[in-house]
A and B are shown apart, each in its own frame.
Chain A
Amino acid sequence: MIRLEKRKEPSKFWRIANPFLAVLLTMIAGGIMFAMLGKDPITAIRLIFFDPIFSETFGSYSRPQLLIKSAPLILIAVGLAIGFKANVWNIGAEGQYIIGALFGAGVALAFFPAPGWYIFPLMVIAGAFGGFLWAMIPAILKTRFNTNEILVSLLLVYVAERILAAMALGLMRNPDIAGFPGSRDLRRYEAAHNAELIAGTGIHWGVVAAMIAVIFAYAMMTRHMLGYHVQLAGQAPRAARFGGVSPARLVVICLGISGALAGLAGMFEVSGPGGQVRIEFASGYGFTAIIVAFLGRLNPIGIVLAGLLLGLTYIGGELGQMMLQLPGAAIQVFQGMLLFFLLALDFQTNYRIRLTQGARI
């Protein structure tokens, strides 16, 4: 008879092994799905996982693209993970990302067309501040009125989307083009352009910021008192309170950090790869980053790997559509499988399967 037994302590081995196993199972199950669609599964898996990096034709272009696609995911997820560890659930990073982009772009458009080395740093500060400010709304409502930060932060995404649309149509609209929404192209305004730092590598300031954030988050969580408080509040809230950790302070700090990082990600995107404030600017990075945070086990290093992996499936998925005519929906199912297998496997972390002799009647 098969019996499930709760482990005394979550298994460290499975925590690390599960993501790898999930990728493997996704390849197998995805391969079966591709075969059922009449496509060669080996070619499909290779196009998705290997060709973006190793292909001679695409590699030199898609390797840098991988960084461009993954950097905002990593930057946002690192911030979210800190909050998630402390049981502070910021689900609205998408909104903070949008507001950060608007603040950053707002500074750029206010200075246009003046040159100046100080413009870009000001945009960085404004972007982080915008995201921080937007995250403070759920933080203050939670600490003052005990509202649920999940709901408030999520609903504020829709508010942010409306503000974005209003900005693209009104205040930030490019005055030189009649009738069309969208701001000036920041890529054509040198002082505000978040350009590639080394040509052909895909490394822009957002990638650098993501790396710095990962290092800081890692140091904070392992070496700093605040990191200890975060972990304690997440694992034993009562003990944390007795230990002098102020829950309100922690909520503000966690939402503040994740909001500022999401705002930064938005600012680097709008001044670089995104190029301009448009109604459709937000493409779900803030939500995808939640998956990245969990796929990366809320660990900064894990998040880097998870962000790169998800970025890879996006870029590889496009190659799969292009080269093998895989339907777009099949790619989405494939990405969904990854999360499904991870969650399904995670029960091994907390439970073990025991084969026992038949129960006595």
Chain B
Amino acid sequence: MKKLLTAAALSVTMAIPAVADTTKVGFIYIGPVGDFGWTAGHDRARAEMAEHFGDAVETTIVENVDYGADAERVMTQMAISGTDVIFAASFGYGPDVNVVAGRFPNVAFQHATGYIQDHPNVSLYDARFYEGRAVLGHIAGKMTETNTIGYIASYPIPAVIAGINSAYLHAKAVNPDVQFRIIWTYSWFDPALEADAAETLIEQGADVIMQHTDSTAAVRVAEDAGVMAFGQASDMTQFGPNAHLSAIVDRWAPYYINRVQAVIDGTWEAQNSWLGFADGIIEMAPWNDRIPAELQEEADGLIAAIVAGEYHPFTGPINKQDGTPWLAEGETAPDVDLATMNFYVEGITAELPN
């Protein structure tokens, strides 16, 4: 036993290089780095950030970490092992991040897409995905022949609901007959469930599939069924060369480099950042050739208008689903409305899970 203990003690000193000038950056992911979607997007940014800093930074990842006790344990172990900043790359880690942050006030926590900030060492960051959804909706509205768009949604949280609303409004604007069919999976990453959902939507007449889930399953199903689809978080063209029209591609790297630099400089402070097209945090995957040139130009124009600040995807008049007014003519949505959105806009026939 004593021998074991010494061996373990030795090994730990070996495992943790006590080099003071290396900044340790930890990442916890809800899915596998090989999901080709959301988690892949974060890991791409991690790699880019690690390359940018070279030897000055050491990164470590733990993938497939469930929300709750597991996440709390992994982040605690990271903090114990001397990690300086922890990126928790999924919405549901919120309560866990804040529990651990309270215990380790000297560790910086960066929580993606969250809303809980109980401690001064918790930063929140998110992307304005609804901007990208506006572009997808515009393309979908023009491309659909059955006037039916299928939408695979994960959890009924504001970011997802805002995405559905944004896509619907912009599809409707170019195609008044368009209908949205929405399936909730209550999961971020479940390829089998997502494939089932895509098949069901296609059976219901959808010829364009949108997804707010992380796997490539829906794109593959769409390819096999000969319909169209949009990828999620990463360019998923290789899983459906014909079906894949485009995707909102997450580019967290500039933000990650910025935040880790702040940790290195000792200037890190908690923030709440919500970044969009203009910040280079999201971009569109290359347009599929089957999108007519004219429509490609329209989409590019829409992005340019959003970047320039000339256009906001939620510009009134917009009513809520029940007909009550939300935004008046010319009024744009305040951030707080989008960050807490819990209603569909007028015209969506589905019912929001409640």
Q: Which of A46, A161, A169 has the most CB of B within 10 A?
A: A169
Residues of A within 8 A of B76 (CB): 61
Decide: A279 and B9 in contact? CB cutoff 8 A.
no
Could you say which of B60-68, B199-207, B234-242 contacts chain A? B60-68
- Residue of chain A at shortest CB distance from B63: A328
Q: 8 Å CB contacts to A: which residues of B151-168?
A: 155-158
Decide: A55 and B12 in contact? CB cutoff 8 A.
yes
Decide: A169 and B77 in contact? CB cutoff 8 A.
no
With both chains docked as a complex, state the minimum distance between the C-beta of A188 and any C-beta of chain B, in angstroms: 10
Known: A280-B67, A323-B15. A273 touches B72 (CB 8 A): yes
- Check: A329 CB closer than 8 A to any chain B CB: yes
With both chains docked as a complex, state the minimum distance between the C-beta of B83 and any C-beta of chain A, in angstroms: 9
Decide: B73 and A318 in contact? CB cutoff 8 A.
yes
Decide: B340 and A278 in contact? CB cutoff 8 A.
no
Q: 8 Å CB contacts to B: which residues of A264-304?
A: 269, 273-276, 278-281, 283
Please measure, in the bound complex, the distance between the C-alpha atom of A120 and the C-alpha atom of B86, giving whole angstroms: 35
Decide: B78 and A322 in contact? CB cutoff 8 A.
yes
- Check: B309 CB closer than 8 A to any chain A CB: no
Residues of A within 8 A of B63 (CB): 321, 327-328
Decide: A281 and B32 in contact? CB cutoff 8 A.
no
Decide: B77 and A61 in contact? CB cutoff 8 A.
yes
With both chains docked as a complex, state the minimum distance between the C-beta of B327 and any C-beta of chain A, in angstroms: 17
With both chains docked as a complex, state the minimum distance between the C-beta of B283 and any C-beta of chain A, in angstroms: 27
Decide: A56 and B9 in contact? CB cutoff 8 A.
yes
Please measure, in the bound complex, the distance between the C-alpha atom of A278 and the C-alpha atom of B65, giving whole angstroms: 15
Size category of the A interface is 35 or more
- Check: A178 CB closer than 8 A to any chain B CB: yes
Q: 8 Å CB contacts to B: which residues of A299-353?
A: 314-315, 318-319, 321-325, 327-329, 332
Decide: B62 and A54 in contact? CB cutoff 8 A.
no
Decide: B12 and A276 in contact? CB cutoff 8 A.
no
Known: A46-B8, A56-B8. A329 touches B95 (CB 8 A): no
Decide: A280 and B73 in contact? CB cutoff 8 A.
no
Residues of B within 8 A of A180 (CB): 115, 157-158
- Check: A57 CB closer than 8 A to any chain B CB: yes
- Residue of chain A at shortest CB distance from B81: A57
Please measure, in the bound complex, the distance between the C-alpha atom of A322 and the C-alpha atom of B73, giving whole angstroms: 12
Decide: B80 and A58 in contact? CB cutoff 8 A.
yes
How many A-B pairs have beta carbons closer than 8 Å: the answer is 129
With both chains docked as a complex, state the minimum distance between the C-beta of A125 and any C-beta of chain B, in angstroms: 24
Residues of B within 8 A of A94 (CB): none
Query: Contact string, B322-343, partner A, CB cutoff 8 A, digits 1/0?
Result: 0000000000000000011110
Q: 8 Å CB contacts to B: which residues of A158-187?
A: 161, 165-166, 169-170, 177-182, 185, 187
- Check: A201 CB closer than 8 A to any chain B CB: no
Residues of B within 8 A of A319 (CB): 77
Could you say which of A62-70, A131-139, A211-219, A221-229 contacts chain B? A62-70
Decide: B12 and A51 in contact? CB cutoff 8 A.
yes
With both chains docked as a complex, state the minimum distance between the C-beta of B84 and any C-beta of chain A, in angstroms: 14
Decide: A55 and B61 in contact? CB cutoff 8 A.
no
Q: Which of B9, B77, B78, B187 has the most CB of A within 10 A?
A: B77
- Check: A43 CB closer than 8 A to any chain B CB: yes
- Residue of chain B at shortest CB distance from A324: B15
Residues of B within 8 A of A280 (CB): 66-68, 92, 186-187
Please measure, in the bound complex, the distance between the C-alpha atom of A182 and the C-alpha atom of B70, giving whole angstroms: 17
Set B5, B16, B68: member contacting A278, Cβ < 8 A: B68
Please measure, in the bound complex, the distance between the C-alpha atom of A283 and the C-alpha atom of B187, giving whole angstroms: 12
Residues of B within 8 A of A61 (CB): 76-77, 80
Decide: A54 and B64 in contact? CB cutoff 8 A.
no
Decide: A325 and B61 in contact? CB cutoff 8 A.
yes
Please measure, in the bound complex, the distance between the C-alpha atom of A275 and the C-alpha atom of B92, giving whole angstroms: 13
Set B11, B64, B66, B354: member contacting A43, Cβ < 8 A: B11
Query: Nearest 5 A-B pairs (CB), nearest first?
Result: A273-B69, A54-B8, A179-B340, A328-B63, A179-B342
Q: List 7 A-B contacts (CB under 8 A).
A: A43-B15, A46-B8, A169-B156, A169-B353, A181-B156, A321-B63, A322-B74
**Additional A-B contact list (14), CB under 8 Å, known A61-B80, A274-B69, A322-B62:** A50-B4, A51-B11, A58-B77, A169-B156, A181-B156, A182-B95, A275-B95, A283-B66, A283-B68, A321-B60, A321-B62, A323-B16, A323-B81, A328-B64
